[in-house]
Amino acid sequence: MRLSLKWLSEYVDLRVTPEELAAKLTHAGLAVDAIVRTGDWGPEIRVGRVSAVDPHPNADRLRLATVEISAEETHRVVCGAPNIAAGQKIAFAVVGARVRDGHSGKDAVLKPAVIRGVESAGMVLSEYELRLSEDHEGILVLPESAPLGAPLSDVIGDVIFELSVTPNRADWLSVLGIAREVAALTGAEVREPPVDYGEAGAPIKGRVTVDIDAPDLCRRYVATLIEGITIGPSPAWMQERLVALGQRPINNVVDITNYVMLELGQPLHAFDYDEVAAGHIIVRRAREGERFTTLDNEERALAPDMLVIADERGAVALAGVIGGLESEVTERTVNVLLEAANFAGAGIRRTSAALRARSEASARFEKGLPPELAMIASKRATRLFVGLCGGKAATGAVDVFPGKKRDARVEVPRERIARVLGIDPPVSKVRSVLGSLGFSARWVPPDRYVVRVPYWRPDVRIGDDIAEEVARIIGYDEIPAALLAGSIPAPIAQPRRELRERARRMLADAGMREVIAYSTTTLEALRRVMPAEDLAIYPPYRLVNPISAEHAYLRPTLRASILQTLASNLRYQKGEVAIFEAARVFLRPDDRPADAGRPFGEERQPDERERIIAAVTGRRADRWGRPGEESVDFFDAKAYAGALFHGLNVDVTFAPVDEYGFTPGRTAAICAGEARLGVIGQVHPDVAGAFDIAQDVYVFEVALEALLPLAGGDRKLAPVPRFPAVEQDLALIVDEDTPAGTLQEAIESSSLVRSAQVFDVYRGDQVPEGKKSVAFAVAYQSPDHTLTDDEVAKAQRKILERLRREFSAEQRGA
Amino acid sequence: MPLPRGGAYNAGTMATDTVEQLHAEALRGLAEAADARALDAWRIEILGRKGRLTSVLRGLAELSIDERRSVGAAANALKAELEAAFDERAEELRRASFAATLASDRIDVTLPARPHRRGGLHPVTQMTERILDAFRSMGFSVVEGPEVELDYYNFEALRIPADHPARDMWDTLWVDETVDGRRPLLLRTHTSPAQIRTMEQQQPPIRVAVPGKAYRFEATDTTHEWQMTQIEVLAVDEGLSMAHLKGTLLELMRRLFGRERQVRLQCSYFPFVEPGAEVAVDCFVCSGAGCHTCHQTGWIEMMGAGMVHPEIIESMGFDSARYTGFAAGMGVERLAMQAFGVDDIRYFYQNDLRLLQQF
Ligand SMILES: [Zn+2]
C-alpha cells in the first residue's frame, strides 16, 4: 500500500515529521518500509505533452517522441516505453537534470546521447527514474490538468509512504483507516469525508432490485443509481491522488470507484445500468459449466463455488474480483448502477487465486471487510458521482443485508490485560487509548471492561486483541523484561538429535568439514547413485512447484549431494578434502528399514531418516601443508569413520561387500554384531566421473537410526595392568584373501593375549604365489601374575594350532 | 692440542713436582683447558692413575715420617681441591658449549606448524548450537519435528485455514502427493508446527526450542534463501506474559551479541499469536547511532514473536484463563549473518570450502 501524506492530511492534522510518523506507525504494527519524497526534483524536470510518436528508423522497439514543453520549446527524444502515446502529459527531463540511472540505479546527470543512430537530448521519465517506485516498465503519465511547462515538483510534490499492511488489517488498506491510526498515535482528531448527497432523481424502488441467493458468500449488497452522467476525465486533484497511490486514471466513473476504494477501503463496481437486464441484480453461485467474459476480454470457465453478480440473462461480474465486458461502463454510458457489496473473504480469495485474477478489490475483500462500510462507501461514491459526473442520484438506495449482526462487544477483565502484557495500565489510560482508536470502553466495577468495537475493526474479537490494542498505542517499550520463573519442566529426551550432534562434533574434531546441502535433488543425479529398480519401486517425493528443476525431488539419499558438493570444490581444492553432511532423507513409508519405529509423523508423511555421509579425496599434505605425493585411500576414510565409532563407543567390524555405485573389492559394510550400520568404500570411478570427478573418492555413509540402539553406552575403566606384558612378533603366511581382521580376532581370542596389532603385510620373496605374510605384534599379559616363558610359548603354540586349523596359516620362517 | 706446560715439568726433569708447584701449574692448566678434549687430557695428566698427583703421592714414601705427615696432608688437600676444580671447570665448559650450540642452532619459530587437519562445523550448525545453549540454560528442552509436514500442522492448527489471507506470508512448496483429492503434504514453511506437536504431547509447564530446516517458495537474493534453518521457541505456563517473552529474548541476544544489548518489540501480526511482535536488537556495530549494518536505523530486525493465541491454548485442551504462553521464531542464517559478518545469505548453502574453512 502506498500512502500520500498530502491526501492523508485531508482527514487528520499531521503534527510530526514524516520520519517521526513513520516510526510511530511502524511501532504500532503498520510497517513503513520506505519514505519517498516526490518534489525534490530540480527545475530541469517539467511537465510536457507528447505531441507525436513516430517509429525509430533503426529499431522496432524504440520510438521517437516529440515532446512539447511550451509553445516555443519542443524536444525530440528516443523512447522505449510501450505505453507512450500522443496527447499524454508526461514528466520530461532536459539535458542537465539529475535522474536515477536505469543501469547503475544511482542518480546521474542526464547527457545528450545517440541511440541507435538517432540523437536524443532529454528523456520522458518513468516512476523509476523519478524514484517514485521501482517500476520502469512504462513512463509516468500525468493528469491532463498538469500545467504544461510547470516544474514537476509543483505538480506532484508529496511524501509517499510505502507500507506493509498485515493481513489482519483491511482497514489499513485505506487512507481514512490510516488517518484513524495516525489520530490515535498523535492525539489528533479524524475528519471523516462527507457522504451526504442530494437525491434529485426518481425513486430507485422498482427500477433496481437485488436478490442474494448466496447469503453465506454475500452479507450485504447496496445499490444506488445515478442517471444522466457525462463520461469524461476526472478532476485533476483526484487524478493526482490516484497517481500518487499507483493507480492510472481512466475516466471519471472508474476513477471515482477507485478513489473511494483507496479512501475508505471498500471496493465498488459501476455497471452500465442499461446493460443490466430489468435492473435486476442476482447474487448467486456460478452454474456448472458457466462461462463468462471478464472486462480484460478473457473468457473464463467458472466453478460452482464462485460467486457471480448476474442479471436475468447471465453473469455480469465476478463478485469482488473483476467485472464483465458486457456491462462495463463505456464512453456511451449514461446511467450507472453502483454496487457496494460485502463478500466473504475466503470465497473471494479462492476465486481470484483459481482464475489468477487478483486485484486491488480482491486483496481488500479477502482480508474481511465490515458490511457497515458498504453503505458508507456507497453514499460517498454517489456523492462524488453527483458532484463530478453531472448526474442525478435516484432517491433511496437498495440495501439487502442478510448478514446483519449486533455491534461487537468484548468483555475484558482488567486482570487479563495485566496477565498478557505484564503491565497493568490504569483504567483511565486503557479507556483513553481505546477511545482514541474509536473503541468505547466502559469500566464495569469492580474488575472489568466492556468494550464496543468500531465497525472498521472486525479483527478485534477477544480480550487479548484488546490487550494488543492497548499495548501498541501505549508502546511495547513500556513492557519490562522479566526472566522466566517457576518450575523448570522435565527435560524431553531426543536421543536421535543428541546422537546426531555428537556425531557431527566427532567428525569435525577428527578433521572433517561439515557441509549443508539443499534437501532436494534431481532424478538425473539420483540415477547415478541408485539402482534404477529402487527408483522405480520407491520413487522419490516430487515437489509440485520446485524453485527450479535442480530442486524437483526430495533426497532419498545423500550420496548424490555429497559428490556434487565435492565436485564443485575440487576446482579450487588441490589437497585433501574431507567433508561430511548430517541430514535427513525422505523415504516412502513402506521403504523404511525395519530397525526402528517411525520417529514422528503419521503414515501419510514420508519417513524421515537421519544419515551421515562423508567423502574423502585428494592428496595428503606434505610437511608444509601442501598437496604431497600420496593420495588418500580407503584407510584415510576408515580412520575418519573409526574416529566416529570410537567416540560413540561402538565396536564395529568391516566386511567386504558389493554396493551399487561403489568399486568392487574396495568396499565394506560397517557392522556391529548383526546390525549393518552403513557402508564405506571407493566410489566407482564411473560414478565419480558422472559427477565430473576424475580422482579417487572414498565415501562412508552411516544410518543414524541403526546406530541409535548401540551408541551412548559409557566406557568402563579398565585397570592399568600390574604385571608386565611379554611382546612377541608373529608373522603368518596365509591365503591372499584371508582378512587380517579375522586373524587378529582369532589371536586376540586367546585369554593371555592383551592385543595383537598388524605391523606388516608382505608379498614376494619367500612367500608363495597366492599367499601373503601378515605380521602381528602380540602382547601377552596376565592380570594376576608375571607370565613365564613357558606360559607364553604354550599360548603361542595354541594360537598357531588354531590358525593352522582354521586358516591354514603357517608361521613364517618356522 | 697439547697441554701447556711450565716449571720443572717443562724442563723435562724426572724430578717429582712439589705440592706447591703442582698446585699452581695444575690450576693454570685447568683454566686454560678450553674444550672437552683438553679437559680430558688435563684430567689424565694431573688426576690420572699415572698422573702427576699420583707421582706426588707416590713420592711421599721417600720422605721422613714427619715430612710425610705434613706433605701428605697438603697433597690430599690438593687432590680434593683439584677434583672439585675439575668438576667446576667441566660444568663451566658444558654450559658454554650448550650456549654455543643454542647460538648456532636457533630454530625459526615463525615457520609453519606441521600440518594437522582442522575440521569444523558449518556456521549454521555453530549458530544453532549457540542459540540452543542459551535456551537450554533457561530450562528449554530441544525437540524436533518432521520437515515434510501436514497442512494441518503447518497452517490450520496455527489458525491459518485454507483461503486465509495470511497464507501469503508463507509461500509454500507443496509435495506432489494427493490424498482424497487434496494435497495435504508440504515442506514446512517454519518450525512453528512443533508448537502444536509439542502441546499435543506435553502438559504445561512447557519450554521447548525447536531447530530445523524450513522451506519457502521464494526468489533468492542476498537476504533471501528458499531453504533456511529456523528455531522456534515455545513456553506455556501459568503467569507468563509479554514481559517474559521480552526477558527471554533479551537474554538470548545478550548471550549472542554482548551483555550490553537491548531488545525492542514492535507490534506485528502472526495468526498464531496475540499480541504479536517483531523483535529487534540494538545495532552492535554502531550501538544505535546508525550504520550500514542496521540500515541507519540503529536496530536490527531479528525475529517474529508473540503470546500464544488463547484459541490455540484451548484447542490443545488447556484452560486459556489459567495458562498463557509465548512463542518466537528466528532464522538462524540471519543471526549467523550478523554474528559472522556474512553479507550474502546464499553463501551458507553454496558449500564453498573456501568460505566454510574460515569457521
Ligand atoms: Zn548500526
How much is the ipTM here? 0.84
Three state DSSP letters for B275-316: EEEEEEEECCCCCCCCCCCCCCCCEEEEEEEEEECHHHHHHC
For residue B287, is pLDDT > 90? no
B265 with A501: CB under 8 angstroms?
A: no
Torsion of CA B300, B305, B307, B312, to 10 degrees: 170
pLDDT > 70 in chain B, percent = 95
**Are B202 and B245 members of one domain?**
yes
Q: Considering only alpha carbons, which residue of chain B is nearest residue A352? A: B163
Q: Structural domain tally of chain B?
A: 2
Please indicate whether, in this complex, the C-beta atoms of A601 and B244 are within 8 angstroms of each other. no
Return the axis-axis angle of helices A175-186 and A427-436, rounded to nearest 10°: 150
Query: What are the angstrom distances between the C-alpha of B253 and each of B128, B191, B246, B279, B348?
Result: 13, 20, 10, 10, 22
**Given B216, B261, B309, B334, which residue is catalytic?**
B216
Joined together, the cell numbers standing for residue A474 give 501505549
A434 with A470: CB under 8 angstroms?
A: yes
Determine, yes or no, domain membership for B110: no
Determine, yes or no, domain membership for B114: no
SS3 label, residue A620 = strand
Look at residues B41, B76, B104 and tell me which one is the last residue of a structural domain. B104
A578 with B357: CB under 8 angstroms?
A: no
Phi, psi of A654 (to 5 degrees): -120, 120
The question of whether B116 is a catalytic residue gets the answer: no
What is the pTM (predicted TM-score) of this model?
0.83
Chain B residue numbers with beta carbons less than 8 Å from the beta carbon of A600 are: 144-146, 197
Phi, psi of A512 (to 5 degrees): -95, 155
CATH classification of the domain holding B172: 3.30.930.10
**Are B133 and B89 members of one domain?**
no
Joined together, the cell numbers standing for residue A77 give 527524444
Chain A residue numbers with beta carbons less than 8 Å from the beta carbon of B278 are: 31
Which stretches of A278-393 are DSSP H helices?
345-354, 360-365, 372-388
DSSP assignment of A165-180: --TT-GGGGSHHHHHH
CA of B249 from ligand 1 middle (Å) equals 19
Q: Which of B124, B165, B247 sits opposite A345 (nearest CB)?
A: B165
Domains A2-39+160-186 and A495-592+604-707 share a fold: no
Please indicate whether, in this complex, the C-beta atoms of B144 and A496 are within 8 angstroms of each other. yes
Q: Cα(A386)–Cα(A227) distance, rounded to whole angstroms?
A: 9
The question of whether B244 is a catalytic residue gets the answer: no
Query: What are the angstrom distances between the C-alpha of A520 and each of A265, A661, B2?
Result: 43, 20, 87
| B262 touching chain A per CB within 8 A | no
- Bond into A446 cis (ω within 30): yes
A732 with A799: CB under 8 angstroms?
A: no
Return the axis-axis angle of helices B65-104 and B52-59, rounded to nearest 10°: 170
CA of B282 from ligand 1 middle (Å) equals 8
CA of B285 from ligand 1 middle (Å) equals 5
Stretch (H or E) spanning A681: strand A675-683
DSSP assignment of A338-360: EEEEEE-HHHHHHHHHHTT---H
For residue B125, is pLDDT > 50? yes
Specify the higher pLDDT residue, A187 or B105. A187
For residue range A111-152, what is the model confidence (pLDDT) as tens digits? Answer: 888 888 888 889 999 888 888 777 777 898 888 888 899 888
User: Taking the domain A209-400, which CATH number applies?
Assistant: 3.50.40.10
Q: Which of B164, B349, B356 sits opposite A518 (nearest CB)?
A: B349
For residue range B140-169, what is the model confidence (pLDDT) as tens digits? Answer: 999 999 999 999 999 999 999 888 888 888
Chain B residue numbers with beta carbons less than 8 Å from the beta carbon of A497 are: 142-144
pLDDT at A222: 97
Q: Considering only alpha carbons, which residue of chain B is nearest residue A19? A: B297
Mean pLDDT score, B218-222: 91
Chain A residue numbers with beta carbons less than 8 Å from the beta carbon of B310 are: 462, 464
pLDDT at B6: 41
For residue B10, is pLDDT > 50? no
Q: Cα(A382)–Cα(A196) distance, rounded to whole angstroms?
A: 9
pLDDT at A420: 97
Q: Cα(A713)–Cα(A715) distance, rounded to whole angstroms?
A: 6
**Are B266 and B141 members of one domain?**
yes
Please indicate whether, in this complex, the C-beta atoms of A168 and B166 are within 8 angstroms of each other. yes
**Are B255 and B324 members of one domain?**
yes
Fold classification of A726-811 is Alpha-Beta Plaits (3.30.70)
The question of whether B124 is a catalytic residue gets the answer: no
Q: Which of B116, B139, B147 sits opposite A488 (nearest CB)?
A: B139
**Are B91 and B146 members of one domain?**
no
Burial class (CB in 10 A: 0-12, 13-18, 19+), B90: middle
Determine, yes or no, domain membership for B69: yes
Q: Considering only alpha carbons, which residue of chain B is nearest residue A507? A: B119
Largest CA distance in chain A: 129
Please indicate whether, in this complex, the C-beta atoms of B244 and A484 are within 8 angstroms of each other. yes
Residue B49 neighbours by CB under 8 Å, 6+ apart = none
Please indicate whether, in this complex, the C-beta atoms of B184 and A622 are within 8 angstroms of each other. no
**Are B77 and B154 members of one domain?**
no
Chain position carrying cell 593352522 = A804
Which candidate, A279, A335, A289, places its Cα nearest to that of A310?
Answer: A279
SS3 label, residue A730 = strand
**What mean pLDDT is reported for chain B?**
89
Please indicate whether, in this complex, the C-beta atoms of A623 and B114 are within 8 angstroms of each other. yes
Residues 87-146 of B with CB under 8 A from A: 112, 114-122, 124-125, 129, 138-139, 141-146
Considering the segment(s) A495-592+604-707 as one domain, its CATH architecture is 2-Layer Sandwich (3.30)
CA atoms within 13 A on the CB side of A129: 24
The long-range contacts involving A595-604, CB below 8 angstroms and separated by at least 24 positions, are A595/A675, A595/A703, A595/A705, A595/A706, A595/A709, A596/A705, A596/A706, A596/A708, A596/A709, A599/A496, A599/A705, A599/B146, A600/B144, A600/B145, A600/B146, A600/B197, A601/B146, A601/B148, A602/B150, A604/B150, A604/B177, A604/B179, A604/B184, A604/B185
SS3 label, residue B231 = strand
Determine, yes or no, domain membership for B154: yes
Chain A residue numbers with beta carbons less than 8 Å from the beta carbon of B162 are: 346
In a mutagenesis test of the A interface, which of B132, B274, B323 is the best target, namely the one with the most A β-carbons within 10 Å? B274
Does the CA dihedral B335-B340-B342-B347 come out positive or negative? negative
Residues 187-246 of B with CB under 8 A from A: 187, 197, 202, 205-208, 213, 215, 217-218, 220, 226-227, 235, 237-244, 246
User: Taking the domain A45-156, which CATH number applies?
Assistant: 2.40.50.140
Joined together, the cell numbers standing for residue B202 give 506435553
List A577's β-bridge partners, or say none: A617
For residue B3, is pLDDT > 80? no
The question of whether B357 is a catalytic residue gets the answer: no
Stretch (H or E) spanning A33: strand A31-38
Phi, psi of A56 (to 5 degrees): -80, 135
Please indicate whether, in this complex, the C-beta atoms of A476 and B146 are within 8 angstroms of each other. no
CA A188 from chain center: how many Å? 38
**Are B100 and B129 members of one domain?**
no
Please indicate whether, in this complex, the C-beta atoms of A516 and B124 are within 8 angstroms of each other. yes
**Are B67 and B130 members of one domain?**
no
Chain A residue numbers with beta carbons less than 8 Å from the beta carbon of B141 are: 489, 491-492, 494
| B251 touching chain A per CB within 8 A | yes
Chain A residue numbers with beta carbons less than 8 Å from the beta carbon of B275 are: 420-421, 464, 467-468, 471-472
**Are B351 and B300 members of one domain?**
yes
The question of whether B216 is a catalytic residue gets the answer: yes
**Given B33, B236, B273, B280, which residue is catalytic?**
B273
SS3 label, residue B248 = helix
Q: Cα(A289)–Cα(A299) distance, rounded to whole angstroms?
A: 12
| B268 touching chain A per CB within 8 A | yes
Q: Name residues of chain A where pLDDT drops below 50.
A: 592-601
Q: Strands, DSSP E only, in A166-268?
A: 209-212, 218-227
> What band does B7 get if pLDDT is binned at 50, 70 and 90?
very low
Which residue ranges make up each domain of chain A? 2-39+160-186, 45-156, 209-400, 410-450+461-477, 495-592+604-707, 726-811
pLDDT at A142: 87
Please indicate whether, in this complex, the C-beta atoms of B149 and A605 are within 8 angstroms of each other. yes
pLDDT at A267: 97
User: Taking the domain A2-39+160-186, which CATH number applies?
Assistant: 3.30.56.10
| B8 touching chain A per CB within 8 A | no
SS3 label, residue A510 = coil
Torsion of CA A158, A164, A170, A174, to 10 degrees: 0
Name the minimum distance, in Å, from the CA of B180 to any CA of chain A.
12
> What band does B14 get if pLDDT is binned at 50, 70 and 90?
very low
**Are B52 and B19 members of one domain?**
yes
Determine, yes or no, domain membership for B345: yes
Give the domain extent around B83.
11-104
Please indicate whether, in this complex, the C-beta atoms of B144 and A515 are within 8 angstroms of each other. no
Determine, yes or no, domain membership for B113: no
> What band does B15 get if pLDDT is binned at 50, 70 and 90?
very low
The question of whether B273 is a catalytic residue gets the answer: yes
Residues having C-beta closer than 5 Å to ion ligand 1: B 283, 285-286, 291, 293-294
Give the Cα-Cα-Cα angle A488, A494, A496 (nearest 5 degrees).
165
Name the minimum distance, in Å, from the CA of B36 to any CA of chain A.
37
Q: Cα(A662)–Cα(A657) distance, rounded to whole angstroms?
A: 10
Mean pLDDT score, B171-193: 89
Considering the segment(s) A410-450+461-477 as one domain, its CATH architecture is 2-Layer Sandwich (3.30)
Determine, yes or no, domain membership for B118: no
Name the minimum distance, in Å, from the CA of A509 to any CA of chain B.
6
**Are B338 and B193 members of one domain?**
yes
pLDDT at B50: 85
Determine, yes or no, domain membership for B268: yes
For residue B8, is pLDDT > 70? no
Mean pLDDT score, B77-93: 89
